[in-house]
Structure 1
Amino acid sequence: MIEGVHFVRKRLAGGISRWYVYAWRGGPVVMSADGRKPSLTTEALERIASARRDRDAARKPRPTTIQTLIDKWRDSSEWSNFTPNTQKTWGSSIRAIEVKWGEVPLAVFNDTRMIAKVVDWREDRKKTPRAADNGVTVLRALLKFGVQRGDLRINVAEKIAKIYVNGQRAEIIWTKDDLDFFEKAAGEKDRAVYEAVLFCSVTGLRREDLARVTWASVGEFAIVKKAMKSSRGRRHFATVPRIARLDAVLELLKVRSRVSGVDTVLVNPRGRPWHLDTLSKEVARIAKLAGIVHIDVDEEGGPPRQRRKHLHDVRGTFATYLMTETDLADAEIASIMGWSVEEVTRIRRIYVDDTARQIALGKRIARGLTPR
């Protein structure tokens, strides 16, 4: 007799006993017979063996996959610390990862040969380069989460480069002419949009912080606000020193009409806090009307290429104010902006030092042409 097989007798009308044989208690019926307690037939034995194999296979834990790591990530405090905007932006990339890699066992990603597979995936999506790069960025963050928690040994997406040629924007800023053209294009109807750009130019705040900073955060010497964007898993404070330009803009914004109870420095035309996507779209719309673009000069002699300037690029304008109107060192400016020192140095070279040299050169030429 096979251990665990369960026999159940049921008495039928007329006093006949019917026996039901189960592969195990609570398992499937593998045979039945009337009369005396039956012996197991060959067919019943085969059914018992098959049922137990199916049971054991179902009990065997499924291999950990990319999907299970994604589920764990979404349930983690790390994911909850991301801003709603980041969660929304990364959502489409996560769905792409689920489609491509969701059922792949996590152990496969401990093989360095997966680096080439990830690069191939990026190349397959190169017709939408920003989406392709975002996919790798999110995959990199996901695998980093797996490494930190001991589910992975390596991060195969860690050193994969971007293909989006416009990805580096630190050297793009809004100039004084850009701000003037934008103000003219905005007019009185879209004055609140211009004020948002102007406020960004004198604070360097990221969009999320720009739209959410309140008057309670405005101190005598600085604006101090807990940053919406985290860095290295920690939420830092956005601290903006008050320069003369900022003081003037704050005075302008104080008189903006706002709904009762609204304490944000910036408000939309209805006196309410800006919705982040709406603010970006409105800035982009008016910038397009104003013809505000960045010109890329091909160092190899090719034709120049135009790129539209975004709200995020206004941050660089504030960096130039810190360079020209304060005695802060590049390292101090980098700390305020959340940039590297190299990025600040590049901005200084392009927009401050080169401009100063050109002005000095123009003055020398003018003196040479002026009769003595």
Structure 2
Amino acid sequence: MYDPGDYPPVVYPSRTGLVLRQMRLDRGKLPPSVLTGTDRLYEADRSDVIWEAPDFAAFMPHASVEIQEAVELASLTGLRRGDLIRLAWLAVGEHAILWKTGKSKGKGTARVPMMGETKALLQRIRDRYAAAMEVKRPDRRKPLPDTVLSNSHWQSWTPSGVGSRFNDAKTASKVERNCHDLRGTFATRCMLAGLNDQEIADILGWKTVKVAAIRVKYVDQTRVVIELGTGIAAAKV
């Protein structure tokens, strides 16, 4: 059933069909190809909306550890959901993540700087995998998936699978934020790390005016986004 609280309150006629299809995709009722090209619309409408510490604190207790990892990785890389679940370990370098994105027919490359928090998260995923395999019989052990993120069966996520599990936690937590809004959170992390607006815009594929709007709203006006890390850590299961 449609819940107006799941999406921005104003939905223009030209976008109604796309929004409804997004809802059905997230619930696993449509294949991912149906929504090709809709990231741009979402980005244009919500580029100055981000996840803050209270959002993470409310969301995380209702999410599985696999969804927690997905949300945290999104906030640390700025990758869109499709690229996030396809991100391969081979793309992870010592200083940056280099990944051919699904946008522009795979011709674009995301160059994401590696933060200390990103390295820590990736190590936690590896450690969790090692611990899970250690308690299994040798013949039941699985190799580490090629993708950084995986579901509870240590298999790569499907778009509908991760979308459905994300929406379950979102509904339970009553957090009025979308997965795409984590890109703005990543932008604030880059600001706190000292990157300028042009550098951040280049990483996210945004115009500098969008980055500047987030900086004014969340960083320059003394909003303490640095507490995000503490909020996420405290909310983990």
CA contact (8 A) 2:50 2:181 kept: yes
- What's the counterpart of residue 70 of structure 2? 196
State whether structure 2 residue 55 is matched by structure 1 residue 181: no
Alpha-carbon distance between aligned partners in 2 of 1:262 and 1:132, rounded to the nearest angstrom: 32
Select which of 151, 159, 162 maps to 1:276.
Answer: 159
Which secondary structure state, in structure 1, belongs to the residue aligned with residue 108 of structure 2?
strand
Structure having the higher helix fraction is: 2
- What's the counterpart of residue 171 of structure 2? 288
Shift, 1:133, TM fit: 9.2
Alpha-carbon distance between aligned partners in 1 of 2:106 and 2:56, rounded to the nearest angstrom: 34
Which secondary structure state, in structure 1, belongs to the residue aligned with residue 102 of structure 2?
strand
- What's the counterpart of residue 137 of structure 1? none
- What's the counterpart of residue 216 of structure 2? 349
Shift, 1:245, TM fit: 1.5
> Which digits, 9 at most, give the CA deviation of each residue in 1:120-164, with x for residues without a partner?
xxxxx93x7422799xxxxxxxxxxxxxxxxxxxxxxxxxxxxx9
Change (3 A) 1:267 1:172: same
Change (3 A) 1:234 1:261: closer
- What's the counterpart of residue 337 of structure 1? 204
- What's the counterpart of residue 254 of structure 1? 126
Change (3 A) 1:216 1:166: closer
> Which digits, 9 at most, give the CA deviation of each residue in 1:263-315, with x for residues without a partner?
2110111100000122122112201211212xxxxxxxxxxxxxxx2111111
Select which of 161, 167, 179 maps to 1:311.
Answer: 179
Select which of 65, 82, 85 maps to 1:211.
Answer: 85
The size of the alignment, in residue pairs, is 182
Counterpart code for 1:182:
F
Alpha-carbon distance between aligned partners in 2 of 1:176 and 1:321, rounded to the nearest angstrom: 12
Change (3 A) 1:166 1:272: closer
| Regions of 4+ moved over 4 Å | 164-167
Alpha-carbon distance between aligned partners in 1 of 2:106 and 2:76, rounded to the nearest angstrom: 25
Alpha-carbon distance between aligned partners in 2 of 1:247 and 1:132, rounded to the nearest angstrom: 36
Instruction: Give structure 2 stretches of 5+ with no counterpart.
Output: 1-11, 21-40, 134-141, 225-237
Alpha-carbon distance between aligned partners in 2 of 1:287 and 1:248, rounded to the nearest angstrom: 25
Change (3 A) 1:323 1:165: closer
Q: What is the percent sequence identity of the aligned residues? A: 35
Change (3 A) 1:351 1:270: same
State whether structure 2 residue 115 is matched by structure 1 residue 243: yes
Counterpart code for 2:102:
M
State whether structure 2 residue 188 is matched by structure 1 residue 320: yes
Counterpart code for 1:252:
R
Alpha-carbon distance between aligned partners in 2 of 1:269 and 1:165, rounded to the nearest angstrom: 29
**Higher Rg:** 1
TM-score (norm 2): 0.70
CA contact (8 A) 1:283 1:310 kept: no
CA contact (8 A) 1:224 1:240 kept: yes
Bigger relative contact order, structure 1 or 2 (CA pairs below 8 A, ≥6 apart): 2
Structure having the higher strand fraction is: 1
Change (3 A) 1:341 1:313: same
CA contact (8 A) 1:211 1:273 kept: yes
Change (3 A) 1:287 1:347: same
Alpha-carbon distance between aligned partners in 2 of 1:174 and 1:132, rounded to the nearest angstrom: 23
Shift, 1:355, TM fit: 3.0
Alpha-carbon distance between aligned partners in 2 of 1:285 and 1:191, rounded to the nearest angstrom: 13
Instruction: Give structure 1 stretches of 5+ with no counterpart.
Output: 1-124, 135-163, 294-308, 358-372
> Which digits, 9 at most, give the CA deviation of each residue in 1:19-47, with x for residues without a partner?
xxxxxxxxxxxxxxxxxxxxxxxxxxxxx
Shift, 1:171, TM fit: 1.0
TM-score (norm 1): 0.45
Alpha-carbon distance between aligned partners in 2 of 1:237 and 1:167, rounded to the nearest angstrom: 21
CA contact (8 A) 2:201 2:207 kept: yes
